């Protein structure tokens, strides 16, 4: 019997990670590319587009696998888009895709009603797929491979041109379902590293596929192959899940993997190396016409951008382009950018960094980032805005010994801050209402109200209103050279001793959570 979406539910598992350097300065460590909206024709980030891809009834609620560094962004964008999520797993360290997929598989096999028969579709959060319906058609085509023939399926991309920046997959013998080829066998030696241009041309001619890093499999099959080929990785994932801390303060369970257990997995090992290059259960489904791109460079971002002007320019922000062609421009700090006589260039004017490069030198951006890292420049990892679970901090300006910044509190949130001992500052509420407690005195502050916190004293802030509250701070340091250079360094957070009514953490093991029949409705 031929199976499709109607007969079996697919559980999407979206991988959220990345260092945020390939599209620098648009992306940084504290805001990788999957959380950016970079095409004026789209109102969603790459991550939100990945969630939207699985909104059709054919899919179950998606699970998310997030690095701890990207968790705040992921939760914020899930909340902003009002997405429903099946669950969230938080990686305490980046051990590679083998360990991440192992943890996802173990967790879902324990918590999904289908157990070991659950079908997972693992996909990156930062890729572009312009035709989701065509992609879903390819997924439906692959269901018999995963469900009937116990294959671990990878979705390859039919190349549009020779590309040296991707790995390739060599399809083997066709695999039939009801007499129809629905995929091709792959075995050891069929995963090929990034080639030279000469080899890339040969690979395209011989019908090889780009490796997109998208996989589908039955949970039991993946666990079987992990046990056979990567037992240390599987054991680390099982222990990390069993000892995990689970919270239910949102509409979905969040599983915080046990760090000690998870770190016992071999580090930086991709699933290709751990399993796919060794298993006899591998299969590839070539995908054509889905509009895929990994957006791995600023030049690939330009190629994927739908909104270009009549001269081939992709312009974002207050840009004036005169006699300019085939150029990518981002003006992101409200400063007008004027271009005259440029062709095939990249210009990114961000809040704290300016990049100008020829389009065909886009791959060298990583070299520039490496140079900045070696010289310990903060622009490699931070932006002028830092997100926190309780709100955000934004650096407005620095001038000598004076720093101006804002911070906001989400509805229902409370924090405690220690005022610097080496500066004086003035707070002015710019939005919302906020209660500030200092030295036992309560100050109920509304817009335009101001306060001068005492040096080296702790102040507790409470936002009990239904809207976000914001405060602008003008801080004057006693000496030059003391001013912080990133938004993350502006506030000294201290323990808030009173219970926070907006948070209801209920730690329990995954096993106990599975036994609690009401955990999904808590």
pLDDT score at 484: 67
Q: What angle do CA 210, 124, 279 make, to 5 degrees?
A: 60
> Per-block average pLDDT, block size 10, for the chain (522 residues)?
56 84 87 84 86 93 91 90 93 92 95 92 94 94 92 94 89 84 88 90 93 95 96 96 87 92 94 92 93 91 90 94 96 91 96 93 91 88 85 90 93 91 92 89 91 90 92 88 76 66 34 38 36
Q: What angle do CA 97, 305, 12 make, to 5 degrees?
A: 35
Q: Give residue limits of the domains in the chain.
A: 10-293, 298-378, 385-489
Runs of H (alpha helix) within 94-186: 97-111, 132-147
Tokens of 380: 């490699």
Return the exposure string of 296-320: e unless at least 16 CB atoms fall within 10 Å of the residue's CB, then b: bbbbbbbebbeeeeeeebbbbbebe
pLDDT score at 486: 81
Residue 193 burial class via C-beta count within 10 angstroms: exposed 0-12, middle 13-18, buried 19 and up: exposed
Helix-then-strand count for the chain, H and E: 12, 32
Coil, strand, or helix at residue 146? helix
**Which of 17, 16, 26 has the alpha carbon at shortest distance from 298?**
26
Model pTM score: 0.84
CA distance 305 to 459: 47
CA distance 33 to 46: 8
Q: What is the CATH number that goes with domain 385-489?
A: 2.60.120.10
CATH architecture of the domain with range 10-293: Alpha-Beta Complex (3.90)
Give me the DSSP letters along 435-462. EEEETTEEEEE-TT-EE-PPTT-EEEEE
pLDDT score at 481: 61
CA distance 183 to 144: 10
Could you check whether the bond before residue 25 is cis, i.e. omega within 30 degrees of 0? yes
């Amino acid at each position: 019997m031929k199976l499709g979406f109607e007969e079996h539910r697919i559980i999407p598992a979206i991988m959220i990670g990345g260092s945020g350097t390939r599209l620098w300065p648009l992306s940084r460590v504290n805001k990788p590319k999957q959380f950016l909206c970079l095409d004026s024709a789209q109102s969603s980030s790459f991550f939100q587009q990945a969630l939207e891809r699985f909104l059709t009834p054919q899919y179950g609620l998606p699970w998310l696998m997030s690095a701890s560094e990207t968790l705040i962004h992921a939760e914020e964008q899930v909340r902003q888009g009002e997405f429903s999520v099946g669950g969230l797993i938080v990686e305490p360290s980046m051990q590679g895709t083998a360990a991440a997929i192992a943890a996802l598989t173990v967790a879902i096999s324990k918590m999904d009603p289908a157990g070991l028969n659950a079908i997972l579709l693992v996909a990156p959060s930062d890729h572009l797929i312009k035709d989701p319906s065509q992609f879903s058609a390819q997924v439906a085509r692959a269901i018999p491979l995963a469900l009937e023939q116990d294959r671990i399926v990878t979705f390859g991309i039919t190349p549009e041109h020779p590309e040296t920046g991707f790995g390739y997959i060599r399809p083997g013998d066709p695999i039939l379902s009801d007499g129809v080829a629905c995929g091709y066998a792959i075995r050891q030696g069929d995963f090929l590293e990034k080639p030279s241009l000469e080899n890339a041309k040969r690979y395209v001619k011989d019908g090889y596929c780009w490796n997109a890093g998208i996989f589908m499999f039955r949970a039991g099959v993946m666990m079987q192959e992990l046990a056979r080929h990567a037992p240390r990785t599987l054991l680390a994932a099982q222990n990390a899940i069993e000892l995990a801390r689970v919270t239910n303060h949102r509409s979905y369970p969040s599983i915080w993997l046990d760090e000690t257990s998870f770190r016992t997995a071999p580090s930086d090992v991709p699933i290709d190396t751990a399993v796919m290059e060794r298993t006899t259960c591998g299969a590839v489904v070539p995908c054509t016409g889905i509009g895929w791109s990994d957006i791995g460079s600023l030049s690939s971002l330009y190629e994927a951008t739908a909104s270009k002007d009549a001269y081939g320019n992709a312009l974002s922000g207050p840009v004036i382009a005169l006699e300019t062609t085939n150029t990518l421009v981002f003006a992101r700090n409200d400063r007008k950018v004027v271009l005259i006589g440029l062709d095939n260039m990249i210009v990114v004017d961000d809040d704290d960094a300016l990049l100008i490069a020829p389009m065909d030198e886009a791959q060298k951006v990583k070299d520039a980032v490496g140079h900045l890292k070696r010289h310990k420049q903060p622009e490699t990892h931070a932006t002028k805005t830092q997100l926190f679970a309780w709100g955000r901090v934004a650096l407005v300006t620095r001038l000598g010994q004076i720093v101006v910044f804002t911070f906001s509190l989400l509805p229902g949130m409370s924090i405690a801050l220690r005022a610097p001992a080496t500066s004086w500052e003035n707070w002015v509420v710019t939005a919302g209402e906020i209660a500030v407690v200092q030295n036992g005195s309560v100050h109920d502050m509304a817009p335009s109200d101001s306060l001068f916190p005492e040096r080296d004293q702790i102040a507790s802030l409470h936002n009990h209103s239904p809207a976000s509250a914001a405060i602008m701070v003008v801080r004057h340091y006693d000496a030059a050279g003391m001013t912080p250079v990133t938004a993350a360094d502006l506030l000294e957070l201290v323990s808030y001793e009173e219970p926070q009514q907006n948070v209801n953490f209920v730690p329990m093991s995954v096993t106990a959570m599975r036994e609690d029949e009401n955990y999904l409705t808590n």
